[in-house]
Amino acid sequence: MKKKLKPLSKQTVVIVGASSGMGRVTALEAARHGARVVIAARNAAALESLAARIVREGGEAEVVIADVSDHAQVENIAERAKARFGGFDTWAHFSATAIYSTFSDLQPEEFKRVIDVNLTGQAYGAMVALRHLRHKGRGAIVFISSVEGEVSMPFHSAYAASKHGVDGMFDALRLELAHANSSVSLTIVRPTGVNTPFFTNARTKIGVKPRPPKPIYQPEHVAEAVLFAAENPVRELYVGGAAKAMVLGKRWFPRLMDAYLLSSGFSGQRTRQPKESTAPTNMFTPETADERIHGDYSSISKRHSCYTWLQTHPSTCALLKGLLLLIGIGWLSERLDLWDRTEARTKAERAVRRTRRRWS
């Protein structure tokens, strides 16, 4: 079935994990495009300040306090959306947590918490959203995975496991929806390192504050991808060309990718700023009331992502592919023509030599 999605200006968009970073900027951009937004997270103060900003800019927002590891609280997000706006059209799920640690230093409750938030929480969101959107007849669910859904980083065994799980769940659900000829669109977004407060607020057992590995992209690139998926049925979107390169490297050259991660994966995730494992984090409770969109790495983050832009501008991408194809055909034709002329000249020279030998 050809899926038809509403323009953002006529949508209600649920943003789960909207208190900071990628979720916060996506909510702002959705509202600026005319969408009504339902913003959910654990941090009430951060959500209230976001809602106030949206209203000041002329938008509408509903605030819902929710911990995604509790199914009842996730269901409440949908109920509040129905009560305020009559339902929703897009569900985008950003909530995530992490701990930087070698696997041997992880505690069972830490590993479980990462899985509960990143994987189980996203599953709860998809369950709730799918029931509503099937009843409505159409809509979009946007999974936020990571390049670590396919390429695991050191110190991130729990996080990588959760994102691998998200990718597996997405693939199964995608096939089920296709088999059912469903009108619900399903998209997975895979960012690489993004400059958000996520790294500052993560629990760490590596002795220092963690950081995203380079290259680092800005959260606006993720918002661009998510809002594109809200209007356009597309299977997957990579945020940053580095994300796609890493995935292809893992698939085609696994030993080379292992060598790369051994050389840069450990040092590339460490800063020189000491941080104890007992420092406040947002893993179990929103202790760090961080309302920022951008993290601590703006000075070294990429302002533009050509790869992401091309994915979200398919007509331009198709035009460029067509031009490259024409250039390639022209080049090949010229090479073949040159080959033909060379071959003809060679044959003529051979004929002349044969004639000379015959008459000599």
pLDDT tens digits, 182-218: 999 999 999 999 999 999 999 999 999 999 999 999 9
Which of 100, 159, 297, 307 is flagged as catalytic? 159
φ, ψ of residue 187 in degrees (nearest 5): -130, 140
pLDDT tier for residue 352 given thresholds of 50, 70 and 90: low
pLDDT tens digits, 303-350: 887 788 787 877 676 666 676 666 666 656 666 666 656 666 666 667
DSSP 351: H
pLDDT attached to residue 332: 62
pLDDT attached to residue 288: 64
Distances, alpha carbon 128 to alpha carbons 88, 143, 263, 278, in Å: 11, 13, 42, 35
Cα(88)–Cα(132) distance, integer angstroms: 8
Amino acid symbol at 261:
L
pLDDT attached to residue 336: 60
Domain coordinates in residue numbering, the chain: 8-312, 316-360
Q: Hey, how many other C-beta atoms are within 10 angstroms of the C-beta on 87? A: 16
Mean pLDDT for all residues in the chain: 90
pLDDT tens digits, 227-266: 999 999 999 999 988 999 999 999 999 999 999 999 999 9
Mean pLDDT of 114-131: 97
329: tokens are 């055909």
105: tokens are 């230093």
pLDDT attached to residue 341: 62
CATH number of 8-312: 3.40.50.720
Please return the burial class of 56, using the count of CB atoms within 10 Å of its CB with bins 0-12, 13-18 and 19+: exposed
pLDDT tens digits, 248-259: 999 999 999 999
Alpha helices (H) in the chain, listed in sequence order: 21-32, 44-56, 71-85, 108-115, 121-136, 157-179, 219-231, 241-252, 254-264, 306-311, 314-359
Whether the Cβ atoms of residue 139 and residue 230 lie closer than 8 Å to each other = no
355: tokens are 């004639």
* Known active-site residue 159: yes
